[in-house]
Structure 1
């Protein structure tokens, strides 16, 4: 996978350029008098909203805001015409793109949906989504043609709509997922929120949720956008990433119960992966698996990560126990489970089963 900061910046720039080109064909209309599709806002209000969000996302990242939105807002000068509005959209888009490019991968800033922060890739995807969706709204009101590329739509879907089963037409999928259209065989969407990736903090590690985009890259032999300790990612990580992709394509992927990269705080290197095999079952049991790059073994990283991830899972009301199975001769992995507080509950010739109860 290419550097995600550069990729995200390019996507923001492409989305803004496409929107401006489409809307410029109706620049001679009275945008304040035309409603933006199904929205309550006028086209002018909607365009101003897009610019405001692009600026806000840039501000969140640049200011490293962690507790709330930075308390400022955008206001257009009195007498600004439609061409001026488009100039503001271009400018705020450029600010977000530049901020995404210059922000380190590990930085996260406040955003309420759904885990109260997002990384640079998340802010880029949210910015692209705002541009695509609200340009659609304005184009509908103004009667102009607009359809963004499948690549841009896929960029948004695989990063902040991981719970949405993809369809052949990425644009129609994004419109359906945001209550703006229909997809055959799927019920209408009345309410929606996008979903940024989750991070879980441990003492020396940050467990970073792996998006469908990153999982796909890992499964195909890439690095998933992470910097790995020498020797990684290993085969078990790639196999786990393939399972994430399969779940996403089947519409059953749920980020909290997915896969996490284990990122070492001291140097930002990824030392392994850990994750769940799916959502908790009807008995409240959720299964966990993990692996480490060889050079990271023997330092307690797996134990530390397992404790943190298990504690988060057991804090959820739908979880009563965390379950794991290992091969009998995998003594290192069995030791990890023991140090993390798991108890052996079953054994046969192929596997030993452990669980940790809340």
Structure 2
């Protein structure tokens, strides 16, 4: 699968070998990582991706993506789908950046790119969530076009829907 390219970023679909390197913390094989990459969240997502690959095969294009700056090509974070779309066309996403790259609009740009990609592939609903205290992540989802649709004692839920399809299941 090809990279997804936005104005300032490259969203690179992660391979099994790349995910294994992220989990091991080894940037060999030509990978170029900014200081601070991978974060704990990147390692967690890479492990989940590897588990999915082992259980059901490579989920691409609905897998993990490494966020790289176009200028210089350094990996600065990750984003992706928790799993392929369900029978109703719904997916859940997650994302994160290294601390030194936050506050520059990269997360919003990356999420917009991923949302556009998902919509073009027939996804009808994308869900995400953020801890109550993670106001920055909540703002990223809202800036990318997602709307708050619920909350519980731990997180605030967001979604974007492109069709008049009514989906069931909680939350939202």
TM-score by length of 2: 0.89
The whole-number CA distance in structure 2 between the counterparts of 1:230 and 1:215 is 18
**Number of residue pairs matched by the alignment:** 161
Give the structure 2 partner of residue 347 of structure 1. Answer: 151
The 1:224/1:314 distance shift into structure 2, 3 A limit, reads farther
Q: Paired residue for 1:205, among 3, 9, 20? A: 9
The whole-number CA distance in structure 2 between the counterparts of 1:352 and 1:270 is 28
The whole-number CA distance in structure 2 between the counterparts of 1:262 and 1:275 is 10
Give the structure 2 partner of residue 324 of structure 1. Answer: 128
**Shift, 1:224, TM fit:** 6.6
List structure 1 segments (4+ residues) > 6 angstroms apart after TM superposition.
Answer: none
Consecutive unaligned residues of structure 1, counting only runs of 5 or more, are 1-196
The whole-number CA distance in structure 2 between the counterparts of 1:344 and 1:288 is 14
Structure with a larger share of its residues in strand: 2
Cα offsets for 1:85-137 (capped at 9, x unmatched): xxxxxxxxxxxxxxxxxxxxxxxxxxxxxxxxxxxxxxxxxxxxxxxxxxxxx
Consecutive unaligned residues of structure 2, counting only runs of 5 or more, are 163-172
Contact (CA 8 Å) 1:198, 1:255: kept in 2 or not?
no
Cα offsets for 1:132-177 (capped at 9, x unmatched): xxxxxxxxxxxxxxxxxxxxxxxxxxxxxxxxxxxxxxxxxxxxxx
Give the structure 2 partner of residue 130 of structure 1. Answer: none
Matches within 5 A, 1:166-205: 197-205=1-9
Structure with a larger share of its residues in helix: 1
Q: Paired residue for 1:246, among 42, 51, 67? A: 51
The whole-number CA distance in structure 1 between the counterparts of 2:129 and 2:154 is 10
The whole-number CA distance in structure 1 between the counterparts of 2:28 and 2:51 is 16
- SS of the residue corresponding to residue 257 of structure 1 reads coil
Contact (CA 8 Å) 1:198, 1:256: kept in 2 or not?
no
Give the structure 2 partner of residue 150 of structure 1. Answer: none
**Shift, 1:241, TM fit:** 0.3
- SS of the residue corresponding to residue 61 of structure 2 reads helix
The whole-number CA distance in structure 2 between the counterparts of 1:300 and 1:282 is 33
Q: Paired residue for 1:304, among 109, 117, 121? A: 109
Q: Paired residue for 1:259, among 64, 76, 81? A: 64
Q: What is the RMSD computed on CA atoms of the aligned residues?
A: 1.2
Contact (CA 8 Å) 1:214, 1:224: kept in 2 or not?
no
- SS of the residue corresponding to residue 255 of structure 1 reads coil
Give the structure 1 partner of residue 169 of structure 2. Answer: none
TM-score by length of 1: 0.44
Does residue 289 in structure 1 map to residue 82 in structure 2? no
- SS of the residue corresponding to residue 323 of structure 1 reads strand
- SS of the residue corresponding to residue 129 of structure 2 reads strand
